[in-house]
Structure 1
Amino acid sequence: MNTLRTTWLTLLLWSLITPLTHAGESDEPLRICSAAWPGFIEVEDGRVVGGITHDVIHEAFRRLNRSVEMRELPWSRCLKNVEDGSYSAATDEFFPNRNPAFSQSQVHFNSAIFGICVRQDAPQQSLSLDLLQGQRVGTVRGYIYTPNLLAKANWTAVQTKDEDQLYTLLEHGRVNFIVCDYWSALQRAQVRILQPFLDTTELGVVFNKAHGESLRRAFDQTIGEMLADGTIDRLYKQHTGASDPATESPSLLESQ
């Protein structure tokens, strides 16, 4: 009887730890999709080939003994493909995503940081909603802005087709303000970002819940280890020369 009880307990413990320790073991590459995001998701011919998110994802799944294939897709299609199971996961999605078809990572390694950019010679030094009231503000058509930002916008949006056109609009004085991505703005010497940031939100990876729950738990554990051992901070500094500043102070919209 003791032998049977010991065997049963051993099998039970093995069934509990196997999803975490072997979640990544498979000959099939894990298919992950995302939308292009300069500095985070760099794309060539539809393949994600570089950027902070790319490097973090590949390192995390390398530690889980799992190969990864990352593709760029329109964001709505990317999420739909994860929902129907043709892709295993999508990154980077605003947190939280309450779609019951998804299991979203609970340990986060990056943030979306939106600011208001002005020209270097502009007189404005700090940001308030009163400053933007009724102003013409440049945005990029099709960009994914936070729900909070869209709900509280008190300006008239002047849409451009891409980021280059957005910054040209500002540089030529056709608008005095643009909604800018923090990381992209760092690469533009002719602009500066007013403080505080306009809005920030944590981003996460969403997995197909039917097939990826154990994988999500293993991924969260690995990202936690990478945060603790400094890997993610090193990757940020490698790409940008700086750490993620999103947690340093609340954004303007967070404080409203």
Structure 2
Amino acid sequence: MKRWIAAGAALLAAGCLLLTGCGKEEPKAASLADGHIHVVTHANWNPFEYLKDGQITGFDIDLIQEASKRAGLTPDISDAGWEAIFEQIRTGQADAAISGVTITDDRKATYLFSKPYFVSRQAILIREDETISSARDLMDGKTIAVQNGSTGQEALEKLMGKNNPAIRKTPMSVQMLIGGQVDALVGDETSVKAIQAQYPDQHLKIVYDDTAFTPEYFGILYPKDRGEELQKKLDKALSSMISDGTYAKLYQKWFHTEVDKTMLESLGK
């Protein structure tokens, strides 16, 4: 996720942290024995993690704070650039990172991941009178709006081709769907659900196709060589949060909709 982040800004942040700290000394990774852990994030993705009144907040932040509390730990959370969170974990400057990080085989070769705590799915949003029932139907003369630079754009271009004229890349994707200028909108499930809830009078319907749009699983990132103890503690806490309903409450708080039961079941395994 977050591949739309401007490369220049990310590299500047990474360089700042890796070289001199730009005048600010970052917290170092701590031993679990003292009860504190240093957690890094990239606070620029509302509602997962973002800055509000100078404080880092969001779904991921509530999640890591509650999981840490259940594990008997106190998280010291700091904001970092996207590339910098990986470097700080790799070099042992931080104990954990949470920032909508997708679990991939390539990353697992270098880092240790928690159990999945979130499933990110691409979804198709249509008007109720539209006959689209799968991603394949989008290729039958349909026009589709995507938020420019989003993961929805990436998923759709992978399916239909990067320069396909049927894909309308625009910041006005919602307005184009409501106005009938396009037949469908493709975006992240949480965003699509928020749009549907925001415009109840438009009678919008969500269509899923997990075969065409492979789900992504988010995980907490740890150092490969020394993160196993913390991983086990927080995995146990995450499992308890899912089973006792705390996770569902956090999901409702930040995404203003109920968590999908299928998603919840997959996280509870």
The answer to whether the 8 A contact 1:23-1:215 is kept is no
Q: Which residue of 2 aligns with 1:82?
A: 89
1:114-145: CA deviation from partner (whole Å, max 9, x where unpaired): 10112x35423522313335644323344346
Q: SS in structure 2 opposite 1:242?
A: coil
TM-score (norm 2): 0.66
Q: 1:186 to 1:115 in 2, by over 3 A?
A: same
2:25 corresponds to: none
Deviates more, 1:220-229 or 1:65-74: 65-74
Amino acid corresponding to residue 259 of structure 2 in structure 1: S
Does 1:224 find its partner at 2:234?
no
Indicate whether 1:215 and 2:224 are aligned: no
Q: Size of the alignment, in residue pairs?
A: 223
- Alignment deviations for residues 133-165 of structure 1 (CA, whole Å, 9 cap, x no partner): 56443233443469876643455543335xxx3
Gaps of 5+ in 1: 1-21, 251-256
Offset, 1:223: 1.3
CA distance in 1, matches of 2:185, 2:261: 20
The answer on whether the counterparts of 2:38 and 2:95 sit within 8 Å (CA) in structure 1 is: yes
| Partner amino acid, structure 2, of 1:213 | E
CA contact (8 A) 1:39 1:184 kept: no
Calculate percent identity across the aligned residue pairs.
20
Residues 228, 146 of structure 1: alpha-carbon distance in 2 compared, 3 angstrom cutoff: farther
- Give the whole-Å Cα distance in 2 for the aligned partners of 1:216 and 1:249: 20
Q: 1:146 to 1:79 in 2, by over 3 A?
A: farther
Tell me the distance in 2 between the aligned counterparts of 1:96 and 1:123: 35
Instruction: Give the Cα–Cα distance (whole angstroms) in 2 for the partners of residues 146 and 207 of structure 1.
Output: 29
Does structure 1 residue 58 correspond to structure 2 residue 58? no
CA shift for structure 1 position 25: 4.2
Code of the residue aligned with 1:68 in structure 2: it is P
State the 1:227 CA deviation: 2.1
Of the candidates 106, 109, 112, which is equivalent to residue 103 of structure 1?
Answer: 112
- Unpaired runs of 5+ residues, structure 2, are 1-29
Greater C-alpha radius of gyration: 1
Deviations 1:49-88 (A, max 9, x none): 122x222211001122332244555544433443344443
Residue number in structure 2 paired with 1:193: 206
Whether 2:179 is the aligned partner of 1:166: answer no
Q: Using a 3 Å threshold, how does the CA distance of structure 1 residues 87 and 145 change in structure 2: closer, same or farther?
A: farther
Q: Secondary structure in 2 aligned to 1:218?
A: helix
Q: What TM-score comes out, normalization by structure 1 length?
A: 0.69
**Taking structure 1 as reference, are residues 214 and 167 closer, same or farther at Cα in structure 2, changes over 3 Å only?**
same
User: In structure 2, do the counterparts of structure 1 residues 195 and 212 end up closer, same or farther at CA, with 3 Å as the change threshold?
Assistant: closer
Name the residue aligned to 1:127.
134
- Report if aligned partners of 2:49, 2:61 keep a CA contact under 8 Å in 1: yes
What are the within-5 Å matches in structure 2 for residues 175-194 of structure 1? 175-188=182-195, 189=199, 190=202, 191-194=204-207
Supply the distance in 1 between the matched residues of 2:151 and 2:86 (Cα, whole angstroms): 13
1:67 maps to what in 2? 74
RMSD of equivalent CA atoms = 3.5
- Identify the structure with the greater helix proportion: 2
In structure 1, the partner of 2:15 is none
Q: AA paired with 1:126?
A: S
Which deviations, in whole Å up to 9, do the C-alpha atoms of 1:189-235 show, x marking residues without a partner? 24431244644232211112234232112211221222233321232
Match of 1:137 in 2: 144
